[in-house]
Amino acid sequence: MTLKVEQFLKSKLLDTPFLVVDLDVIAEKYLTLHKLLPKARIYYAVKANPEPEILRLLVKLGANFDAASIGEIEQCLAVSARPEQISYGSTLKKARDIARAYQLGVKLYSFDSWGELEKLSVHAPGSRVCCRLLIETQSAEWTLARKFGCAWDMAFDLLLHSRTLGLEPYGVAFHVGSQQTDPTQWNEPIHQVALLFSKLAAQGIDLQVMNLGGGFPAQYQSPIPSEEVYAEAIQTAISHHFGDNPPQVMLEPGRFLVADAGTIQSEVVSIAKKSYTDDQRWVFLDVGKFNGLMETLDECIKYRIRTPYDGSAVGSVVLAGPTCDSADILYERAGYKLPLSLQIGDRIDILSTGAYTHTYSSVGFNGIPPLKVYCI
């Protein structure tokens, strides 16, 4: 947590729960990434946190944008991003959304199937298209495998076919999974991409870009390698597989840029034991799966938590959210311990919650309003 955030939290008692985002941290992360991989074009994954103030900052810094929907494209344009800065990166697009994006000036699209390619040829003629490759990776805390991408030989056929359809075969995309803690996971996919580049070159198709997706991690409970280690691993893999003729690289960081910039402040609603023999306390917060902490699903993302009593004696807890839904349990098996002196009404801080939190908030499940956000 930065000093700026600490001062904000001290300055006045705002109604919990809320998310506070330090824009300076986002700028710093962006500039770090830009410095480490200066030739790469950075496309911010808007879905991680689409707050207008964040998008505006990134426009100012010269970022590009990876949009998951026509809604996100409009959000980017609303803060004066130019259409050339936007990639319509979702492989799931309705025909009318493609038509609308094309009309708005977006000319770069991802796809991973015959059906999507046909829609693009009709509604976005002449556009640049990137095929998403289905890859198998490990070590991602929030895996993205299976749902997106297609097999290597199908990707080859699709890219070849795209030219026939009047589109510009532009590149290959993949994603090693979100919160990827192993920097070597980019190596094998880059190898696959290089093979695809070379096989297509033999057919007269010169692909331009390799989209390495997102995956750079945030600082949750477990230690993560530094940005330098990731940049180094990626550079090495590119040199190894592409030699002297590397492609233009696209990056789609989301979590990496915004997660560590955010802190959720929450109030302890209740503390209970279920029986006299229970050795665990249940600690119920006013934030849960359905108003910000969806990524605790299956206890995937393990946030760091600060309390007013850190350093004092702790005991095991089950941490749960405020709704009447039993799915709204945050951590039960992850081994969380909290101070024994924690009391109902205390405030706690949940760190690195700037990404994939408030946008998952339900509109009002259990009559509980969505998580509020303050950008400072």
Window 191 to 250, contacts with its own copies (CB under 8 A): none
Catalytic residue among 76, 131, 324, 375: 324
* Closest by CA position to 209, among listed 121, 130, 116, 126: 130
The answer to whether the CB of 88 falls within 8 A of the CB of 106 is yes
Binders of its own copies among residues 305 to 344 (CB under 8 A) are: 320, 322-329, 344
First to last CA, the chain: 13
* Closest by CA position to 373, among listed 264, 285, 254: 264
Residue from 18, 81, 116, 162 in contact with its own copies (CB under 8 A): 116
Return d(Cα 352, Cα 219) in angstroms, integer: 6
Residue from 275, 279, 313, 333 in contact with its own copies (CB under 8 A): 275
Residue from 191, 365, 372, 376 in contact with its own copies (CB under 8 A): 365
Backbone angles phi and psi of 359, in degrees to 5: -70, -20
The answer to whether the CB of 150 falls within 8 A of the CB of 158 is yes
Q: Is 324 a known active-site residue?
A: yes
Is 187 a binder of its own copies (CB under 8 A)?
Answer: no
Structure-token pair, residue 84? 């050339």
Residue from 61, 269, 314, 376 in contact with its own copies (CB under 8 A): 269
Q: Which is nearer to its own copies, 237 or 255 (CB)?
A: 255
CB of residue 251 to its own copies, shortest distance in Å: 16
| Total residues at interface with its own copies (CB under 8 A) | 76
Residue from 128, 314, 362, 376 in contact with its own copies (CB under 8 A): 362
Binders of its own copies among residues 54 to 113 (CB under 8 A) are: 67-75, 89-95, 112-113
Return d(Cα 332, Cα 225) in angstroms, integer: 27
Structure-token pair, residue 309? 């009593």
CB of residue 134 to its own copies, shortest distance in Å: 6
Provide the annotated active-site residues: 324
